[in-house]
Each structure stands twice: as structure tokens, then as C-alpha cells.
């Protein structure tokens, strides 16, 4: 795991908060260093292998580093904050364009006209 802060577009493994027993899941970091607690905390969305309506498909070209290892989708409704100390390990990073597409989908879901 990184001792330094992760960056916007990084994908990390973190415990999934709604899974019993606790399991890990990949999360896309959407926040950048303008987040008031950047470094100790990150605003993220969950990634999944399940395609659902309004999920954002992440193709192999969506990845700048690492990769999905299969079908992968971002869930723009699955937004919350994770702690750096709880990150299990890095997975890779999306491209800036793919990250912006996910962020735009999140904004639209909360009523921001994009």
C-alpha cells in the first residue's frame, strides 16, 4: 500500500461496507487534493463486475494502469468516503477521461446539470 496519498483516478481495494462477512471491493478515487481531508480520506465510487442500468462500463481502454481482469463497471450511485488507513492495496488507475465520465454520472445522479 502507498504511504503517500492516492490520486484522483486511482483504483484501490478497500473493505466493502455493505457486505457480510466483510469482503473487499475495488473503489475509484474521485476526489483530488482540493478535498478537505485529502490523504487521510477520499471520495470514491464502488466498482463491480455486474452491469446494471446507469452503470458506467469500464473497458480495457478505460484503464491507464492495471486492469479490470474481466467486465468492470462503475456504480455512480455507490458514493462515499473511505479512509487511507483502511485501503488494502492499490489495483491500478483509470484514465482521466474515464474518471471524468464517472464523476459526471455521479453529478447527474445528484441533480447537477452537466
**Which of 100, 54, 101 is CA-nearest to residue 77?**
54
Decide if 89 contacts 43 (C-beta within 8 A): no
Distance CA 46, CA 103 (A): 12
What average pLDDT score do residues 28-51 get? 95
* pTM for the full predicted model: 0.93
Q: What's the pLDDT score for residue 1?
A: 46
Q: What is the pLDDT of residue 107?
A: 95
| Residues 25, 23: Cα–Cα separation, whole Å | 7
Overall average pLDDT of the 18-47 stretch: 92
pLDDT digits (tens, 9 = 90+) for 55-113: 999 999 999 999 888 899 999 999 999 999 999 999 999 999 999 999 999 999 998 98
**In whole angstroms, what is the distance from residue 108 CA to residue 22 CA?**
30
Compute the average pLDDT of residues 23-29: 94
Q: What is the pLDDT of residue 26?
A: 95
CATH of 10-109, one of 3.30.70.380, 2.30.30.110, 2.40.30.10, 2.40.110.10: 2.30.30.110
Amino acid at each position: 500500500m502507498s504511504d503517500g496519498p492516492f490520486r484522483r483516478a486511482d483504483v484501490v481495494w478497500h473493505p466493502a461496507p455493505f457486505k457480510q462477512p466483510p469482503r473487499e471491493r475495488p473503489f475509484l478515487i474521485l476526489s483530488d487534493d482540493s478535498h478537505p481531508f485529502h490523504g487521510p480520506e477520499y471520495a470514491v465510487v464502488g466498482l463491480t463486475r455486474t452491469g446494471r442500468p446507469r452503470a458506467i462500463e469500464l473497458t480495457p481502454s478505460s484503464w491507464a494502469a492495471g486492469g479490470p481482469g474481466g467486465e468492470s463497471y462503475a456504480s455512480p450511485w455507490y458514493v462515499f468516503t473511505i479512509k487511507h488507513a483502511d485501503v488494502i492495496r492499490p489495483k491500478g488507475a483509470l484514465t482521466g477521461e474515464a474518471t471524468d465520465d464517472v464523476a459526471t454520472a455521479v453529478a447527474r445522479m445528484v441533480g447537477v446539470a452537466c
